[in-house]
Amino acid sequence: MEKTHYETKYWEVNNEEAATDHPVIQAAGRALKQEEVIAFPTETVYGLGGDATSDRAVKKIFAAKGRPQDNPLIVHIGKKEQVETLVTEIPDMAQTFMDAFWPGPLTLILKSNGTCAKGVTAGLSTIGIRMPDHPVALALLQASGVPVAAPSANRSGRPSPTSAAHVQEDLSGKIYGILDGGTTGVGLESTVVDCTGEVPVILRPGGITKEDLEQIVPEVRLDPALKDKKEKPKSPGMKYTHYAPKAPLWLINGDLEFFQQKIDELRTEGKKVGVMTSKESAERLNAPILKTCGSRSHLSSVAAELYHTLRSFDSEQVDVILGESFPKKGIGVAIMNRLEKASTRIIEP
């Protein structure tokens, strides 16, 4: 019978020290080889990793997260050469993306050769693979010598973790270890692109934008299933409520006058209201609990701070969070994808 409670180990290593022969990296790598599950940093969010070829390790990932079994996992590799050991073929477009964006926040969907555990692909014939752009992650993956299945290291449905403290909050006692490599950079999960057809299709928007991809290939499509929740998920993050704080999040699609009106209405009703907004809008809104998550003029800063800001409302014990909407351009597409999945209502004039 598998353990259900762990004395979770805690390791710490900074980016400058990260190397495959570092004692901490070696210890964490051994844990992965022994079919244990550990959290580790990437440039997007913290991942919850286990040996992708081990049914036992993959089951531990699902158990720790409380994750539905029909939600596939992304496989992380430390060297590009590992891809050919996991797939039946590497199409030219996939090779082009690998050359341009790896290591980086881009997951490629390819045809699986069946090497990985069944739980990784959730019954699909395809597999998602990426090579993260983080020195601690790469050192760990290379030290372990195995492909590592790794969804975000949070309880399913919660905001993804961008620091080791977030992982501890959700998973301490539920996993073997946490490798602390500091805060992450991009702040949103990787872009997922299906490369099994003639034209690449974005299944999940992320840090690599549609515009970035179209600099490399002539055409990129957005999957209609991003808007249809009835579709069977071909990618993590396409199904179920995601990224949600404890209080209900209501997205405001309107000008600042309308935003302030909604704040005032809820306060008049006796609600304890939290407001999540950009630095620019914060100067013109009046609310007792107001938190900023970056700048509208630099949406990458919103992406980097989004999950941390959502989590920060938990300690405030608010009744409702009113959140600002952002332009669906560039990385704004990924930001709004996450906010819409986290929200319970969208309020419009």
| Dist. CA 187–CA 206, nearest whole Å | 9
Contact (Cβ atoms closer than 8 angstroms) between residue 276 and residue 321: yes
| Dist. CA 205–CA 192, nearest whole Å | 7
Which strands form 126-130's sheet, in the order they lie side by side? Answer: 9-12, 177-180, 38-40, 47-51, 148-149, 74-76, 126-130, 106-111, 191-194, 201-204, 221-222
Contact (Cβ atoms closer than 8 angstroms) between residue 287 and residue 324: no
Q: Which residues are annotated as a binding site for L-threonine?
A: 44, 76, 130, 150, 190
Contact (Cβ atoms closer than 8 angstroms) between residue 136 and residue 18: yes
Q: Which residues are annotated as a binding site?
A: 44, 67, 71, 76, 126, 130, 150, 152, 160, 190, 204, 243
**The tokens of 331 are what?**
């990385």
**The tokens of 13 are what?**
């290593």
Across-strand partners of 9? 177
Q: Which residues are annotated as a binding site for ATP?
A: 67, 71, 126, 152, 160, 204, 243
